[in-house]
Structure formats: C-alpha cells, structure tokens
C-alpha cells in the first residue's frame, strides 16, 4: 500500500490545511484517537487544529506525524454477498413491492365494480359529424366522473395517435370505463364510453362501436346544425336499436343557434328534443346533465354470469411485448386469467394471460363479467393480427355447442388504391418494416408488393378513402421517419370479358392498352357511391352543377327547416379522389358536408391515360379515367410534369396519350452551345454549316440518350 511521505512535495491546499494529509497516509499505521476511545471529533478539537495550523512556520511544511491529532478511520462496512446471474435477473425483473400504485388502483376498482350489479351498467358512445366536439366532451365526462384529474392539459385524452392530436380528429375509436356515483340514488354506476371517429372514411370504426353499446349520445354543433355524417350515424344507430340521447354542443359560441339545431333534430330524426341536453364541452357548462340522461334513457346490458362464456371481439391492436391485444364485450359468463378459450372463426385455442379495463389506461382486473367491455391478451400471446377476426366469438373450451356465435361484422372494402415507393431504394427494408407495423394496427389496409420501372420496388396499398390514405402517410413519416413517394389515388375497375369472366384491376399499369383486341368486346364497369350532401339552400344551384360535371345522377332533394337542403346523388368513386370534397367546400364557402357509401358498379366508357417521355410510357404515372376527362387531365399532366423535369442535352418531348391518340404535348428545350461565338465577319455559308452540324449531332444524341428523371421530380409531381 502506497503512503504519502511526511516531507514530500505538497499542494498549497495541503500546506494550508495539514490535517488533510493524515487522510492520505497509510491506514495500516496505528492512529491514536482524539479524546480517548471516542471516534468523534469535538468542536474544540477542530478549533485547536485550525489555530495550530495558523501558528506554524512556513519553512516547515508539516511536523512529526505523532504530534498531530489524527482523524478517525472510516467505518468498514461488510461487502454485499455475491449474486449469481439468475439472482440478478430476478432481482431486476421482480418489483420491489407488491403494493404499488397500480396494484392499489386495480384492487380499489375491482372492489367497487364487484358491488355493482349488471342493472347499473351503461354502455354508450358519442357519435357526431367531424369537428362537432366529441373528443372534448369525452374529456369533460372523464373529469366529471373523477376518472382523470381536471386540468388545462386534458385535451383529446383518449386520442393516442400523434396524427390525431396534430389534426384534431379522431381516427380510431377509443374506449374508457368510468365509475360514477349517481346523486339521485347515491349508488355507483359502471359506465363504458366509446369516442368514435366523425369522418366517413372511418365508418367501420363506428359500426363496430355500436356492437358494444346499448345507447348513443347524438351530438350536434349549435352553430353548424345537422350535417351529413350526423344523418348517416343516426341511421346506423337506429338500425342497431340503440337508445339516443340528443345533445347540443357549443352553446357558448356567439354564432350558436340552439333552437335551429333542435328543430333540425326533431324534423329530420323525429326525436323528442324537449329534454335535450344543452352543453358547452369547452367550458364544461351543462356537462353534469349528460350522465343522468344516459342513466335514465339508455337501457342496461343483458347477460348472465352463470351461463357459459359468450365473448365478442370488437377491436384489436398489436403490442410488441404481449402480442395481439383484444377489446371484447362479454355477453354471458365471466373470463379470467388462466381460462382456456376457443375461437369460433379460426378454431384456435388460447390461454388467457390477463384481463382488464381501460381507465383510461390499461388497468388489470381479476375477472371480466357479463355486460362489461375490457381487454384480453393471451399467454402465450396471439402472434398474428389476422387471427383476431373482428366480430369473432370466443367461449370456454368444451362449451362450444352451448353458445351461439355472434353474426359478426361486414369487412370494410378498400375504395382507394395507391402505390408507395421509397425515395431511396436502399431504404426498402426499413420502409417495409414501418409499413408492416402500421398495417398490424389497421386491418382495413390491404397490402401487396408492386414494382415500377421508374420508381423501383414498392407496394400497392388499399384504403377506405382519401383521408385514410393521407393519415397513413403522415403516421408513416411522423412515427417512423420514413419518406415515401405515393402515386395518385386510383379506384378499382371491373372488366367483364367476352367469355363471361370477371376481373377487378386495382393497378392502372395492368389495365390493357387500347390496342388490345380483347378490350373491344369487353364490358367495363366503374365503382359508384351514394352521396348525401347537406348544404344551405342558397348554394343548391352551384352544388348541382358541380355534381352534374362529374357525371353524377340526382336521386332526391329534401328541404328541412327552411334554409337547409339534403341532396342525394349517385357519383363515380373516381370523382371523390379527384378532390370533390374540396370543390364542394369552395362552391359553398365551407358550409356543405358530404357523406357516402358504396353503391355497386355502373357500366362506363373508360380508357387508360399514359404519360410519355420521348415516346416511352412512365408506368408510375398512369390512370384509368372516363373518356370525357381525358383531355382536361392530359393537359394538366404535361404542364405540371414539365415544371419538375430537368433540361437535358437533347430535346425532351412530354405527351399524354390515350391509346394511340395523343391528347396533349409539351416540349422541353435542350441546353444549347453557342457554336457561332468564334465567328465574327464570316459569310452566311459558314454559319449555316456549323448550325447544321450541331443539329445532326443532337439527332444522334436523342437516338441513343435516355431521359434521366430524378426521384424528386416524381415526388413533386405527385404531391398535390
């Protein structure tokens, strides 16, 4: 052991405070303790040390070790016992206490829920048009029931996606369980709330939510009144037999017209609005009147805990650690950890790993009873999201013959198809993993591999609508940092060949060219939608002209409450992806609203429009359109594509062609060297000779040269 010599070189700090040197000396040297056997220095001893150090001569840095009072040795603590790797693993993975905050919260909820009979359960959802305040009202209800602490930070609490918070819309239906003490009878009620999307693209989320509910809050904006999606949601809820609670929101706005909104609800829906609830979700005014109305008007769920388990799969999502997590509604029986369940749809068997409720986060429970809505995941977990079929029925193994399966849901059909390519083909695998993660939690997206000569390897994706596609792209860029090129949205086309065979084409590049002789004897069909448009009466003429311009067929016109009109048209689905909604908003100064649903196929005269660059087709930019739209769209293409293509050393010809017919053309002039710069007073023959030589060289260059189109040109061209 190395010791500090008493007469060695010391720092200035050591010379000024010589007692610090004692701490640097060898611990093996016996040290007399100050004050006999006491191991604690008194204040008097410390003051003596200070005074003695001031009176020392500067010529002697330190005196004899035995003449200085020594500090006591530090107490020696026993070393902790050695742990094996297995012991360290269990020590890190096992919680330090079994009575943590989550466990106490779970036990408290379990105790309160166990005392509530099924007659005091209420399952309800909030349905409305987009931007009528559903998520804000959900926040106020969570605060009113004490599920969350009231505060200014409670904005879109149930919306978990970043894109939902950025855009202020709900993309995926979210659920939450609440316990509220009803002041009228002083009893606890178990309330299950579902916040549904308001946009028509996500109607499948609303339909699934109705299966877990016995009633719905029909929310209407006091300043906007009844709009298209309000009408659609009402008819869906009415068909499911749900009890409706009319609520008028945003009554605090200066533009609010509560009486007009109530009159529209009474006239259009034939509802009794005499006891409608008037609220302001933003300020909280009137929110306390909603839950009593829900308890009084919404019927409790039916179920028997003594019967065999009958459990409906309402929704699912993928968790990296747990596998597929199921959102379920229990109709009969109970389910708890350790139960062995069987699926009616797949026949697969699973062992329940955990059950719980959303409060609003996941809170584990010992058991889910009949009438409740909660989450379930298995151990070992369900690995494939495809095995979780929405609308499937689960029961306990061995009781399959005693349980009747739920009829299930209609799977949503993709209406818009796009092709997605990475901007750099080196990022193909990264983008593949990112898309795979998003598709795991959004079963409505269809995915298959695709390839383009211009853009390389990619995917063909199917979406429920244009907003669904836009949200997917934002999530891909925001959550995974991936940059992609997405082609223009296209709709499927059905071809009935002369031999009776049918073929549905989703990729425009696979559509046969006009030179194909089989196409002359085939019949072409395009998809149609039944559109419902609500608008003020003063804009009726403009909207009808717009619908007629996109080959729409009028079905009906209904006037209600003097100033509002409900207009129903049958429109081509292709018009929706051609920004019909934006044109509709522009024609009505933002007052019109649109809702639509699939209306089957209609025979049509369709052609394939190609973009040619130096007479070579660009397969990434191809579209199947109606014959009447060819010239307008072709002119837009060539004009826009010319702006984003770099000039070459030779002339570049950009054309839009339908079959052999060229409908539009633009020419990109080449770079030109000034070959006449060295000529001054030469004759005209010499000038002509040099120009002809340059012209001949350009012809040879154009014959062997390829147009190089940068990826950014495609990205800018395909961006609206």
**Tally of CB atoms within 10 A around 471:** 23
According to the annotation, is 517 in a ligand binding site? Answer: no
Cα 542 to Cα 589: distance, rounded to the nearest angstrom: 11
Structure tokens at 290: 């909603």
According to the annotation, is 516 in a ligand binding site? Answer: no
According to the annotation, is 257 in a ligand binding site? Answer: no
For tokens 């086309």, name the residue: 493
According to the annotation, is 339 in a ligand binding site? Answer: no
Closest CA to 243 of 208, 213, 212, 265: 213
According to the annotation, is 401 in a ligand binding site? Answer: no
Cα 669 to Cα 671: distance, rounded to the nearest angstrom: 7
Task: Enumerate the β-bridge partners of residue 325.
Answer: 317
Cα 568 to Cα 555: distance, rounded to the nearest angstrom: 5
Question: Any idea what the Cα angle at residue 410 is, between residues 160 and 321, rounded to 5°?
Answer: 40
The H-assigned helical ranges of 304-424 are none
The H-assigned helical ranges of 240-282 are 258-269
According to the annotation, is 132 in a ligand binding site? Answer: yes
According to the annotation, is 674 in a ligand binding site? Answer: no
Backbone angles phi, psi at 175, to 5 degrees: -120, 160
According to the annotation, is 289 in a ligand binding site? Answer: no
According to the annotation, is 492 in a ligand binding site? Answer: no
According to the annotation, is 198 in a ligand binding site? Answer: yes
On the 0-12 / 13-18 / 19+ scale of CB atoms within 10 A, 71 is middle
On the 0-12 / 13-18 / 19+ scale of CB atoms within 10 A, 686 is exposed
Any residues with CB less than 8 A from the CB of 51 and at least 6 apart, and which? none
According to the annotation, is 252 in a ligand binding site? Answer: yes
Distances in Å between the Cα of 536 and the Cα atoms of 42, 133, 249, 559, 706 are 91, 22, 20, 10, 55
For tokens 């009794």, name the residue: 272
According to the annotation, is 256 in a ligand binding site? Answer: no
According to the annotation, is 465 in a ligand binding site? Answer: no
Distances in Å between the Cα of 185 and the Cα atoms of 144, 150, 157, 188 are 17, 25, 30, 9
- List own/partner pairs for 90-93 with CB under 8 A and 24 or more apart: none
Distances in Å between the Cα of 455 and the Cα atoms of 418, 460, 484, 611, 713 are 14, 13, 11, 15, 11
Cα 650 to Cα 669: distance, rounded to the nearest angstrom: 7
According to the annotation, is 618 in a ligand binding site? Answer: no
According to the annotation, is 251 in a ligand binding site? Answer: yes
Binding residue numbers for GTP: 128-135, 195-199, 249-252
Binding residue numbers: 128-135, 195-199, 249-252
């Amino acid at each position: 052991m190395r010791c500090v010599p008493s007469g060695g070189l010391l720092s200035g700090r050591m010379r000024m405070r010589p007692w610090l040197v004692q701490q640097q000396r060898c611990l093996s040297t016996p040290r007399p303790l100050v004050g006999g056997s006491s191991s604690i220095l008194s204040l008097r001893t410390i003051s003596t040390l200070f005074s003695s150090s001031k009176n020392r001569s500067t010529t002697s840095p330190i005196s004899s070790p035995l003449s200085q009072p020594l500090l006591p040795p530090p107490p020696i603590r026993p070393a902790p016992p050695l742990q094996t790797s297995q012991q360290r693993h269990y020590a890190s993975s096992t919680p330090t206490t079994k009575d943590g905050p989550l466990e106490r919260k779970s036990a408290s909820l379990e105790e309160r829920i166990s005392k509530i009979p099924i007659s005091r359960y209420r399952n309800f959802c909030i349905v409305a048009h987009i931007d009528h305040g559903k998520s804000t009202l959900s926040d106020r209800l969570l605060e009113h029931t004490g599920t969350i602490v009231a505060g200014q930070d409670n904005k879109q609490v149930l919306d978990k996606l970043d894109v939902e918070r950025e855009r202020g819309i709900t993309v995926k239906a979210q659920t939450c369980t609440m316990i509220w003490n009803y002041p009228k009878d002083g009893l606890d009620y178990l309330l299950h709330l579902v916040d549904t999307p308001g946009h028509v693209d996500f109607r499948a989320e609303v339909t699934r939510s109705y299966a877990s509910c016995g009633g719905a809050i029909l929310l209407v904006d006091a300043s906007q009144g009844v709009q298209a999606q309000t009408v659609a949601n009402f008819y869906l809820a009415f068909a499911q037999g749900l009890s409706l609670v009319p609520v008028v929101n945003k009554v605090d706005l200066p533009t609010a017209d509560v009486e007009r909104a109530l009159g529209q609800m009474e006239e259009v829906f034939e509802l009794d609005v005499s006891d409608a609830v008037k609220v302001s979700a933003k300020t909280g005014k009137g929110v306390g009147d909603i839950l009593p109305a829900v308890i009084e008007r919404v019927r409790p769920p039916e179920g028997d805990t003594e019967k065999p388990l009958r459990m409906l799969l309402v929704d699912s999502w993928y968790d990296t650690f747990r596998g597929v997590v199921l959102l379920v509604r229990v109709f009969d029986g109970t389910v708890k950890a350790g139960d062995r369940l069987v699926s009616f749809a797949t026949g697969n068997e699973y062992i329940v790993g955990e059950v719980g409720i959303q409060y609003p986060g996941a809170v584990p429970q010992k058991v889910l009873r009949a009438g409740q809505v909660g989450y379930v995941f298995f151990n070992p977990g369900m690995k494939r999201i495809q095995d979780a079929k929405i609308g499937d029925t689960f029961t306990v193994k061995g009781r399959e013959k005693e349980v009747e399966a739920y009829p299930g849901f209609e799977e949503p059909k993709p209406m818009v198809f796009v092709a997605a390519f990475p901007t750099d083909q080196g990022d193909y695998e990264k983008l593949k993993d990112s898309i795979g993660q998003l598709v795991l939690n959004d079963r409505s997206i269809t995915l298959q591999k695709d390839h383009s000569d211009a853009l390389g390897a990619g995917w063909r994706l199917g979406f429920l609508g244009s907003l669904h596609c836009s949200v997917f792209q934002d999530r891909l860029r925001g959550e995974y940092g991936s940059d992609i090129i997405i082609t223009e949205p296209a709709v499927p086309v059905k071809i009935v060949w002369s031999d009776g065979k049918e073929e549905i084409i989703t990729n425009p590049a696979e559509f046969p060219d006009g030179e194909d002789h089989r196409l002359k004897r085939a019949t072409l069909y395009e998809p149609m939608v039944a559109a419902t448009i609500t608008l003020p009466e003063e804009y009726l003429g403009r909207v009808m002209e717009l619908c007629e311009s996109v080959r729409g067929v009028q079905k009906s016109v209904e006037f209600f409450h003097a100033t509002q009109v409900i207009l129903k048209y049958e429109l081509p689905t292709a018009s929706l992806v051609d920004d019909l909604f934006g044109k509709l908003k522009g024609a009505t100064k933002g007052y019109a609203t649109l809702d639509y649903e699939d209306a089957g196929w209609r025979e049509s005269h369709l052609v394939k429009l190609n973009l040619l660059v130096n007479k070579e087709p660009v397969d990434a930019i191809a579209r199947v359109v109606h014959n009447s739209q060819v010239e307008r769209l072709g002119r837009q293409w060539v004009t826009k594509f010319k702006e984003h293509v770099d000039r070459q050393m030779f002339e570049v010809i950009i054309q839009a062609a339908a079959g052999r017919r060229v409908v539009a053309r633009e020419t990109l002039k080449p770079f030109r060297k000034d070959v006449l710069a060295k000529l001054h007073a030469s004759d005209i023959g010499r000038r002509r000779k040099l120009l002809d030589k340059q012209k001949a060289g350009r012809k040879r260059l154009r014959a062997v040269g390829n147009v190089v189109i940068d990826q950014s040109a495609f990205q800018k061209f395909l961006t609206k």
